[in-house]
């Protein structure tokens, strides 16, 4: 089959590893995880499996919106004026999220939790439903009035009262980075880590081949019968990839489809025709957050911002003719000539 190939520039020649490919998997954060790595023995693989699951369980216990005792929910339930000391991983994710909120002028916003809940995509309301206009006005004005402050020295965040953090758009990417670092501390130099579709890879396999992954594309529908072009595959060497999609979680009401990506500026699910955004970045945390942010911004504003920030990003949009692609120059520059498998 013909595929389009994305090749990152290699800054160093990877060493050929010795051993065999081990594939480990499990569940975390309401989704699945998978790690492929070159291990020297299957006993080493089993040890690593336990270590990866332990680390992911720890992160889930910190950042889950679904667990009432998570550090995130303890912050969300804290009284107004309380400074909450956060675990260092949560603090890192929150710092990055607030930075990206600034970069995107609020299109991405980790304080979007109340809106996410009200639209039925969080833990509070079970059945998704469209809120009334006055509810939306109230929630947006509450969001605009409340500011979160950080104390870097104490690793603490100020709960001004009522802020509801939601890190679901970035926590999976962070977990991927965290597991990649964990594997590094064990001396593993060749791996592919995946949590809920977000991936990061390093090194090559025994035959010198990189870890190839296919880009996630929107499902085909009657309105968009075919994928726009040949599939895209990317060599993940010292690189992460994340995709955000309007189809991942959504509901229909009155003939309108509402997705779980909320535009905090309107208080409503983004409805800008973008089906997926894929972002490549050295860090999976950043790739994950920016892919969600660009979904909110839409193709025009999103392409401008991603280009300005130097992000390789691909937008796949619904049109009357089917699905259409738009990419930043940085993404186009990584596209190699067509490749036959
Ligand atoms: P992702 O699948 O990575 O795009 O993340 C989507 C999830 O992020 C949603 O299910 C919400 O929990 C949360 N979310 C929705 N809209 C936003 C937003 N504008 N900024 C930050 N997080 C959001
Ligand atoms: Mg995301």
Q: What is the torsional sign of CA 330, 333, 337, 341?
A: negative
Q: Is 226 left (phi over 0), alpha (psi -120 to 50) or beta?
A: beta
108 lines ligand 1 (CB under 6 A): yes
CA distance 161 to 240: 36
For the chain, which ranges sit under pLDDT 50?
337-341
Nearest ligand atom owner, CA of 293: 1
Task: Quote the DSSP letter at residue 121.
Answer: -
User: Mutate which of 128, 144, 166, 241 to test ligand 1's pocket (most atoms within 8 Å of Cβ)?
Assistant: 166
pLDDT of residue 1: 61
pLDDT of residue 248: 75
Of all protein residues, whose CA lies closest to atom 10 belonging to ligand 1? 260
Q: Which helix (H) or strand (E) holds 315?
A: strand 313-319
292 lines ligand 1 (CB under 6 A): yes
Q: Which pTM was predicted?
A: 0.94
pLDDT of residue 220: 67
Q: Taking a C-beta distance cutoff of 8 angstroms, is the pair 172, 196 a contact?
A: yes
Q: Taking a C-beta distance cutoff of 8 angstroms, is the pair 95, 79 a contact?
A: no
CA distance 24 to 19: 15
pLDDT of residue 226: 55
Q: Which atom of ligand 1 is nearest to the CA of 166?
A: 12
Q: Which atom of ligand 1 is nearest to the CA of 173?
A: 3
Q: How many CB atoms lie within 10 A of CB 216?
A: 19
Helix ranges (H only) for 113-246 are: 113-118, 133-145, 171-185
pLDDT of residue 340: 45
pLDDT of residue 328: 98
Task: Quote the DSSP letter at residue 20.
Answer: E
């Amino acid at each position: 089959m013909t595929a389009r190939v994305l090749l990152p520039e290699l800054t160093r020649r990877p060493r050929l590893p010795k051993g065999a490919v081990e594939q480990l998997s499990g569940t975390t954060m309401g989704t699945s995880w998978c790690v492929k790595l070159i291990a020297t023995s299957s006993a080493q693989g089993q040890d690593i499996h336990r270590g990866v699951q332990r680390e992911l369980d720890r992160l889930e216990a910190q950042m889950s919106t679904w667990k009432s005792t998570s550090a995130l929910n303890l912050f969300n339930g804290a009284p107004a004026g309380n400074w909450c000391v956060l675990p260092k991983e949560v603090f890192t994710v929150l710092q990055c999220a607030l930075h990206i909120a600034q970069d995107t002028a609020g299109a991405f916003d980790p304080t979007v939790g109340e809106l996410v809940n009200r639209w039925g995509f969080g833990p509070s309301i079970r059945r998704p439903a469209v809120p009334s206009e006055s509810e939306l006005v109230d929630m947006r004005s509450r969001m605009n009035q409340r500011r979160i402050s950080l104390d870097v020295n104490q690793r603490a965040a100020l709960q001004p009262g009522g802020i509801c953090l939601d890190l679901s758009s970035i926590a999976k990417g962070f977990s991927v980075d965290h597991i990649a670092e964990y594997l590094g501390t064990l001396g593993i130099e060749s791996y592919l880590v995946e949590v809920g579709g977000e991936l990061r890879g390093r090194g090559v396999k025994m035959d010198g081949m990189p870890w190839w992954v296919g880009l996630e594309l929107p499902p085909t529908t009657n309105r968009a019968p075919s994928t726009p072009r040949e599939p895209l595959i990317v060599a993940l060497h010292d690189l992460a990839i994340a995709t955000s999609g309007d189809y991942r979680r959504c509901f229909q009401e009155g003939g309108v489809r509402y997705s779980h990506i909320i535009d905090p500026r309107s208080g409503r699910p983004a409805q800008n025709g973008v089906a997926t955004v894929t972002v490549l970045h050295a860090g999976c945390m950043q790739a994950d957050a920016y892919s969600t942010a660009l979904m909110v911004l839409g193709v025009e504003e999103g392409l401008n911002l991603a280009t300005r920030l130097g992000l390789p990003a691909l937008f796949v949009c619904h049109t009357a003719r089917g699905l259409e692609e738009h990419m930043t120059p940085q993404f186009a520059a990584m596209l190699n000539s067509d490749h036959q498998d």
